[in-house]
């Protein structure tokens, strides 16, 4: 039977709720050291989750007044962190976010190839194009870079990275002491890429990764983002609000995949959810409400400003959202702006929208007892609204531990989640092909 893919998402090291760091049970300075993340990985691996997924930005969010004071949340760099975790875990997938806009493809290809070797085929790259002006300003720009170019360039970039991973064929390293041949020169290739945005000669100086290509992940639902995923990604993290939306989303992606010469099995879609598990529904609700009391009002308003791309702090907090920018000419996060337009159409006040963003961003909460949560996930999964879930825990480590020890066993009993790891690599376990090598003579 088909089973769910489950990935634990770490946005802030203290949880996905923006102000979870204030919770009395949240971790403190240990978020800058390995043992804390080692314990998150150990809990996830004991529950046989498929992967841990570390978010990242290459800048500190500080446009609005409250950001640095309450929320900025500096964190460890994900590839470095996951390299360390590769040594203290054995099966779980290690997905790191890295920007295609602000890293040279040669550097990035080396880092992920190395992580794949060190982890014996467990690495994945969450390709982001970076949409914050604060990031652009760390890399020679005065403001955000253009949305369409960002994605067009990212498409070329991922091509280059994949070509670099192929540039040393699997059997190219001989280490033959007898003949004196370290490698077979016929199986090592310059990629000689020169196109609109990038010029890279190659070959890469890291052997082909165990998975051929580390798993490629893309997150976010703008049209450009989805087209990039349809061409290149193995896993797509989506924001989907209902079973029906999930089914339509899948059907739309299948068409995009076909256009890109791929089949539906080539891409796994994981909707994000915000699991809140408790011994009763009342307790689950109290947990959500308690987190809400920790949020300074100003941070919510600034979060709304950031999602809208305009400063809303001058407008009455109990009034509607002001007129919002046009999607087509917007260079920030288009999927976020689309959500804001949907909230505006529902007539929500700035305060209401702020509450929703602080709580769960745009993903749905799945709340209740372990059986309640399992029921809802089962419904989504069996209806074809997702190949599994991206688990966005409001508070770490508590919510992760509860999910892993209470919900996962229930899903396993129902035959919906794996009870053992199978296969040699992350690709094998996710049901993804090992990509052929473009330089293969056959």
Ligand X SMILES: Cc1cc2nc3c(=O)[nH]c(=O)nc-3n(C[C@H](O)[C@H](O)[C@H](O)COP(=O)(O)O)c2cc1C
List of residues contacting ligand X (CB under 6 A): 55-57, 97, 128-131, 219-220, 222, 224-225, 237, 239, 272, 333-336, 390
Nearer CB in complex with ligand X: 119/130: 130
The residue among 191 and 235 lying less far from ligand X, judged by its C-beta, is: 235
Query: Which pairs count as long-range contacts for 22-31, CB under 8 Å and 24+ apart, including other chains?
Result: 22/294, 23/290, 23/291, 23/294, 23/395, 25/395, 25/398, 26/395, 26/396, 27/396, 27/397, 31/75, 31/76
Query: Phi and psi of 40, rounded to 5°?
Result: -65, -45
Give phi and psi for 172, each to the nearest 5. Answer: -80, -30
Cis, peptide link before residue 397, omega less than 30° from 0: yes
Instruction: Using alpha carbons only, give the angle 195, 105, 184 rounded to the nearest 5 degrees.
Output: 90
Minimal distance, residue 391 CB to ligand X, in Å: 10
Q: Which two tokens stand for residue 187?
A: 């199986």
Nearer to ligand X, 53 or 106 (CB): 53
* Token couple for 273: 């959810």
Can you tell me the distance from the alpha carbon of 421 to that of 429, in angstroms, rounded to the nearest whole number?
7
Closest distance to ligand X from the beta carbon of 127 (Å): 8
Cβ closest to ligand X, residue 219 vs residue 374: 219
Q: Name the β-bridge partners of 217.
A: 126, 235
CB of 55 to ligand X, least distance (A): 3
CB of 302 to ligand X, least distance (A): 18
Nearer to ligand X, 221 or 437 (CB): 221
> Residue 73 or 333: which CB sits closer to ligand X?
333
DSSP states of 250-319: HHHHHHHHHHTT--GGG-EEEEEEEEEE-SSHHHHHHHHHHHHHTS-HHHHHHHHHHHHTS--TTS-TTS
Q: How far is the CB of 382 from ligand X (least distance, A)?
A: 22
From residue 297, alpha-carbon distances to 19, 70, 240, 337 in Å are 11, 11, 27, 21
* Calpha distance 94→429 (Å, rounded): 13
Of 134 and 352, which has the nearer Cβ to ligand X?
134
**Which residue lies nearer to ligand X by CB, 44 or 406?**
44
Based on CB atoms, which residue is closest to ligand X, 189 or 339?
A: 339
Of 76 and 173, which CB lies nearer to ligand X in the complex structure? 76
Q: In this structure, are residues 21 and 14 in contact, taking their beta carbons and an 8 Å threshold?
A: yes
Shortest CA distance to 395 belongs to which of 304, 290, 280, 306? 290
- CA atoms of 289 and 274, how far apart (whole Å): 14
d(CA 241, CA 363): 7
Q: How far is the CB of 282 from ligand X (least distance, A)?
A: 29
Query: Nearest residue to ligand X, using CB?
Result: 220
Q: How far apart are the first and last CA of the chain?
A: 35
> From the CB of 333, what's the least distance to ligand X, in Å?
3
Residue 385 has, within 13 A of its CA and on its CB side, a CA count of 21
For residue 296, give every residue at least 6 positions away whose Cβ sits within 8 Å of its Cβ, in sequence order, or none.
19, 66, 70
Which two three-digit tokens encode residue 137? 């300003």
For ligand X, give the closer residue by CB, 253 or 439.
253
Residue 134 or 166: which CB sits closer to ligand X?
134
Least CB distance from residue 265 to ligand X, whole Å?
22
| CA angle at 422 for the pair 419 and 425, rounded to the nearest 5° | 130
In whole angstroms, the minimum distance from the beta carbon of 247 to ligand X comes to 19
Angle formed at CA 415 by CA 409 and CA 417, multiple of 5 degrees = 60
Least spacing, CB of residue 138 vs ligand X, in Å: 13
């Amino acid at each position: 039977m088909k089973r769910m893919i489950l990935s634990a998402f770490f946005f802030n090291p203290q949880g996905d709720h923006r102000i979870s760091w204030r919770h009395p049970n949240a971790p403190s300075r240990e978020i800058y050291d390995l043992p804390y993340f080692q314990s998150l990985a150990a809990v996830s691996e004991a529950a046989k989750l498929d992967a841990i997924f570390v978010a990242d930005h290459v800048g500190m969010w500080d446009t609005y007044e409250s950001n640095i004071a309450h929320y900025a949340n500096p964190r460890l760099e994900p590839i470095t962190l996951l390299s360390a975790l590769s040594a203290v875990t054995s099966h779980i997938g290690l997905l790191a976010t890295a920007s295609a806009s602000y890293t040279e493809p040669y550097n990035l290809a080396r880092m992920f190839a190395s992580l794949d070797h060190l982890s014996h085929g467990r690495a994945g790259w969450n390709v982001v194009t970076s949409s914050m002006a604060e990031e652009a300003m760390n890399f020679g720009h005065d403001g955000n870079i253009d949305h369409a170019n960002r994605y067009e360039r990212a498409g070329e970039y991922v091509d280059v990275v994949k070509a670099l991973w192929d540039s040393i064929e699997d059997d190219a390293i001989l280490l033959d002491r007898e003949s004196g041949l370290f490698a077979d020169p016929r199986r090592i290739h310059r990629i000689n890429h020169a196109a609109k945005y990038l010029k890279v000669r190659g070959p890469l100086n890291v052997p082909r990764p165990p998975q051929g290509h580390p798993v490629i992940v893309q997150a976010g639902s703008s049209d450009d983002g989805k087209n990039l995923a349809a061409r290149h990604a193995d896993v797509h993290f989506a924001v989907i609000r209902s079973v029906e939306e999930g089914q339509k989303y899948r059907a739309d992606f299948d068409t995009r995949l076909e256009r890109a010469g791929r089949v539906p099995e080539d891409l796994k879609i994981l909707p994000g959810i915000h699991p809140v598990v408790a011994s009763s529904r009342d307790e689950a609700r109290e947990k959500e409400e308690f987190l809400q009391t920790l949020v300074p009002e100003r941070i919510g308003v600034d979060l709304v400003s950031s999602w809208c791309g305009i400063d809303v702090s001058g407008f009455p907090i109990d009034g509607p959202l002001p007129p919002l920018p046009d999607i087509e000419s917007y260079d920030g996060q288009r999927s976020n702006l689309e959500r804001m337009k949907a909230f505006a159409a529902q007539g929500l006040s700035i305060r209401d929208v702020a509450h929703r963003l602080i709580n769960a961003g745009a993903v749905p909460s799945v709340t209740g007892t372990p059986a309640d949560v399992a029921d809802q996930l089962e419904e989504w999964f069996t209806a074809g609204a997702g190949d599994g879930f991206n688990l966005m825990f409001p508070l770490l480590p508590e919510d992760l531990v509860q999910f892993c020890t209470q919900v996962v066993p229930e899903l396993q009993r129902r035959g919906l989640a794996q009870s053992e790891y199978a296969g040699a690599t992350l690709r094998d376990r996710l049901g993804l092909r090992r990509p052929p090598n473009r330089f293969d003579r056959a």
